[in-house]
Structure 1
Amino acid sequence: MDNRLKDIFFQLLRIGLWGKGSLILADTLSAEDWSKLHSWSISHTVEGLIYDSFTHLKEDQLPPQSLRIKWTVRVDQIERHNSKMNEVLAAQYEGFKKVGLQPILQKGQGIAACYDIPMHRMSGDIDWYFENKGYAEARELLKEKKIPFQDTAGFSLFYDWKSITIEHHKRLFHIRNPFQYRYLSKLEKTYHKQQQDLLINSTTIKTLAPELQLLQVNVHIFKHLLSFGIGLRQLCDSARLYYTVSSQIDPTALKEIYRHTGILGWTHLLHIILVKYLGLSSQSLPFPYPDHWQADWMMDEIFYSGNFGYHDDRYKDGSFSPLSARPAGAHRIWSNMKRYFKYAPQEVFFYPFVQLYSKMLGIDED
C-alpha cells in the first residue's frame, strides 16, 4: 500500500465531503497516481465526493484531462441515477400510502439530503420499512400486482421496479441480539412523534427521528464489517448525518441507546475514524471517545475491503462455499468476529446464529 497516495486520497475525500480545504502535495501526481486514486474512489463508491474536491485544487494538481472527462461522465451518470431513484421513491411512497401502508424511508436518499451536493452521493437501492407490521401487507401487494420479488436472508425481500432495486425490511434495525428486540420496539414507539419529513420531488416522505437514524446507519455499517467489509461511502454517510443532526439529538439518550444495544465500544471506534480520517469535527459527536483508544487497524480493514468486500484483493484467490458469495467467506467472517468481539460481544456472539436462521428458516414462503 502506497501510504503517500493513501494520505492524498483521504485529503481529497475530506475536501469533497466538507466542501473546503486545500490539497497539500510534496510532489506532482502522475497519471498513474491518478489512475490509482480513481480506482480507489470506485471501490469505495465515493467517486462523486472526490470529483467535488476538484474545484478546490490548483490547476497543476488536477488529474489529466482525459481522466477528468471520464470522471465527469461518471458523475453525470450518478446524477441521472439519483434523479431516477427520486422519481421512483416518490411514486412508490404515494402508492403505498394510497393502500393504507405506512412506509418509512431507510438510509439512502434520506441520508443524501445531508450532503452539500446530494446528487453526487452514489446511491444503492431504496429501502422501506413499514410501520404497524405492514411488511406482510406490502409483500401481498407485490403479489397482487404481479411484481416478481425474492425473499432473502436478513428478514427482507428485494425486487427491481423501473430499473431501481427496492428492498423491504421486516425489521427496522440490523441488531442481531434477539434479547434486544423488545427494547428496539420500545424505541420505535418512543421516537415515533419525532419522525422527520423529507421533501423529494414534491412528495413529503417520512424518515426516522435523528437518534434512530444514527443507530440504523451505524448498525448497518457494523453488520457489514462483521461479514465482508464496507466502503468509505457508508462512513461518509455517518459523518454527514452526525454533522447535520448534532444540534437536534439528545446526546445522553443516544449514548444510552448505543450502550443498551451493546455497540457503544464499537461506536467509539467509528467516532475515532470519522474524526481522524474523514474530518468530522469532534464537536459534532454526541459524546467523547476514550483518549487512549486506537482505530487505525479498523480503517486499514475498511480501506482494503472496499464496498461490501467486493474489492478486497487479499482474498481474490480464495475458495467459495455454498454459504458465501465472496471468496474465503468463512475465514473472513471468523476473522472479523474475533476482531470485533471485544467491542460488541453480544452482537458478535449472536451474529452467526441469526444469519444462519434467517437463511434457513427465516425466509418467508408462500
Structure 2
Amino acid sequence: MMVMEVIQRNFFRLLRGGAFGCTGEAIEPMSPWKWNTLYNISLVHGVATLVYDGIKLYGDDFFMQIPPGLKAKWEKTKDQTVKAYTEGLDGLARLFDAMNHEQMRPILMHGQSLAALYDEPSHRTNGDVDIFLPYAPQAKKAEAWAKANGQQACKTERGTLQYSYNGLEVEHYTQAIRLTNFFLNKKLQGIINREVRCCDSTYIYIGDSKIETLPPTLGLLLTMLRIAHYTIIEGIRLRQLVDLGMTLRKAGNSIDFVKLQKWIDQLHFRRMAQLEGAMLVEFFKFEEDEIPFMDAKGSKDTKKVNDDIFSFKAGHSDDWYFTQGKNIFVRTSDSGAMTWQLKHVARFFGYYPAESITALSSSFAHSLSHIEE
C-alpha cells in the first residue's frame, strides 16, 4: 500500500499543477515502474495531458526523474490530444454552421464547451461531439439531416443517434442527461426544459462560427450529475472533477448559486454535492468558500472516493490490464463486472440513495438483456 500512496501523492501534485497551476509540494522519488503506473492512471482518468503539463511545471524538481522512453511516450500522448482537438475544431464549426442554417438549434454539451474554460483548451481530452436538441420537431429534423449528410448513422440502446461527420464522431441527445429514478428524472427534465427556454443563450466561437452551449448554471448542474453517475455506477473519472473545478474557477461569476441550491434539494442531491465539494478540497486544494453548494457542517470524508480512484488490479505490473481505445482513452477489463458493480453501488449508496437503487436495477436489467439464451 505504501507503494501506491507515493504514486497517488505525486499523481495529484502533478494534476493540480497542470490543471490549476499549484506547485506548493515537492515531488517524491519514484522508480520507473511507479512512473509508468502513474502514466497509466492518468490515461484511465482522461487527464494524461494535464499531468504532463504538471511535469513541465515541476521540471526543475530534483526527483522529477522520468525514464526518457516514458517521457517521450507521454509527450506523444499530449501531441495526439492536441492534434485531435485542433483537427476537430474545423469540423465542429462546419457541423454547427450546417445545423444552424437549417434552424435546428443544436446545443453543444460537455467536451469542447468545457475545454473553452481551460488555459489550454486543446489539453482537455475530448471524446464524441455531444449535441442536445431540446425541441422535438428540430430533433426529428436533425435526425433526418444526420442520416442524409453523415455516415453510419444509427440509434444507440440509450435512444441517442450516433453518426460520423467529416471525421467527427457525433451523438444527438433529446434529453441532455437522464436519471434512472422516474420521479427525479421528471423533475430534472422540467428543470432543463425551463432553463433552456427562459435563459439567455451562451456561446463559444470558433472563427466566425457561433456555437450555442448550455446556460452556465444548468451546465454546472449537469456536470455534477455526471460525476454522481460515474461515482455511483462506473467509478469516478477525474476529468469530470477537473471540469467541475474549472467551471467554478472560470465561470463562477455567471452561475446563480441560489438557483443551483434549489435544484440540488429538488433532486435530493445534497449529500452527493457535498462529496463532490469535498473532493475538490481534498484532491485539488480548493478553499471551501470557493464552493457555495458545500455545507460547512457536512461530511468531508473522501476516503471511499480516493480508494475508488486507484482501485485497479494493483500490486504488480502484470496485474494491470489496459487496452488502448480511440481518442486516447484506456479501459480496464474485468470478467466480474456485475459483482464489482454491486459492491461499488453499495459503497456509495448513502450519497444518493434515491438514484442508486434504480441505477443498479437499470444496469442489471441491461446486462440481462445481453445474455444469450
What's the TM-score once normalised by structure 1's chain length? 0.85
Per-residue CA shift, 1:209-243, capped at 9, x if unaligned? 11111111121222233332232112111111122
The structural deviation recorded for 1:128 is 0.5
* Other-structure match for 1:213: 219
CA distance change for structure 1 residues 24 and 246 in 2, over 3 Å: closer, same or farther? Answer: same
For 1:1-366, what aligned pairs fall within 5 Å after superposition? 1=1, 2-26=4-28, 28-57=29-58, 58=60, 60-62=62-64, 63-133=66-136, 134-145=138-149, 147-192=151-196, 193-289=199-295, 290-304=297-311, 327-354=335-362
In the alignment, the residues of structure 1 paired with residue 312 and residue 208 of structure 2 have an alpha-carbon distance, to the nearest angstrom, of 38
- Note the residue ranges of structure 2 that are not aligned, 5 or more in a row: 314-318, 323-332
The structural deviation recorded for 1:40 is 1.6
In the alignment, the residues of structure 1 paired with residue 36 and residue 281 of structure 2 have an alpha-carbon distance, to the nearest angstrom, of 27
In the alignment, the residues of structure 2 paired with residue 360 and residue 36 of structure 1 have an alpha-carbon distance, to the nearest angstrom, of 34
Per-residue CA shift, 1:49-102, capped at 9, x if unaligned? 111112322153332333322222221111110012222221111111122201
CA distance change for structure 1 residues 8 and 181 in 2, over 3 Å: closer, same or farther? Answer: closer
Q: What amino acid does structure 2 have at the position aligned with 1:297?
A: K
Aligned residues: 347
- Note the residue ranges of structure 1 that are not aligned, 5 or more in a row: 307-312, 317-324, 362-366
* Other-structure match for 1:309: none
**2:274/2:293 contact within 8 Å kept:** no
Which deviates more, 9-18 or 66-75? Answer: 66-75
**2:111/2:127 contact within 8 Å kept:** yes
Which deviates more, 4-13 or 50-59? Answer: 50-59
In the alignment, the residues of structure 2 paired with residue 301 and residue 30 of structure 1 have an alpha-carbon distance, to the nearest angstrom, of 23
Q: Tell me, what secondary structure is at the counterpart of 2:171?
A: strand
In the alignment, the residues of structure 1 paired with residue 279 and residue 363 of structure 2 have an alpha-carbon distance, to the nearest angstrom, of 27
Which deviates more, 125-134 or 292-301? Answer: 292-301
What's the TM-score once normalised by structure 2's chain length? 0.84
Q: What amino acid does structure 2 have at the position aligned with 1:197?
A: Y
Which deviates more, 151-160 or 270-279? Answer: 151-160
**1:175/1:261 contact within 8 Å kept:** no
Q: What amino acid does structure 2 have at the position aligned with 1:4?
A: V
Which deviates more, 238-247 or 287-296? Answer: 287-296
**1:13/1:49 contact within 8 Å kept:** yes
Q: Tell me, what secondary structure is at the counterpart of 1:114?
A: coil
Q: What amino acid does structure 1 have at the position aligned with 2:152?
A: P
The structural deviation recorded for 1:315 is 9.4
Q: What amino acid does structure 1 have at the position aligned with 2:6?
A: R
The structural deviation recorded for 1:165 is 1.9
CA distance change for structure 1 residues 180 and 33 in 2, over 3 Å: closer, same or farther? Answer: closer
Identity %: 24
In the alignment, the residues of structure 2 paired with residue 358 and residue 205 of structure 1 have an alpha-carbon distance, to the nearest angstrom, of 35
The structural deviation recorded for 1:118 is 1.1
Which deviates more, 125-134 or 279-288? Answer: 279-288
Q: What amino acid does structure 2 have at the position aligned with 1:261?
A: L
In the alignment, the residues of structure 2 paired with residue 228 and residue 358 of structure 1 have an alpha-carbon distance, to the nearest angstrom, of 14
Q: Tell me, what secondary structure is at the counterpart of 1:13?
A: helix
Q: Tell me, what secondary structure is at the counterpart of 2:210?
A: strand
Per-residue CA shift, 1:13-55, capped at 9, x if unaligned? 11111123144145x3333332222222112221111111123
**2:175/2:189 contact within 8 Å kept:** no
Q: Tell me, what secondary structure is at the counterpart of 1:244?
A: helix
In the alignment, the residues of structure 1 paired with residue 290 and residue 159 of structure 2 have an alpha-carbon distance, to the nearest angstrom, of 33
Which deviates more, 350-359 or 199-208? Answer: 350-359
The structural deviation recorded for 1:249 is 1.6
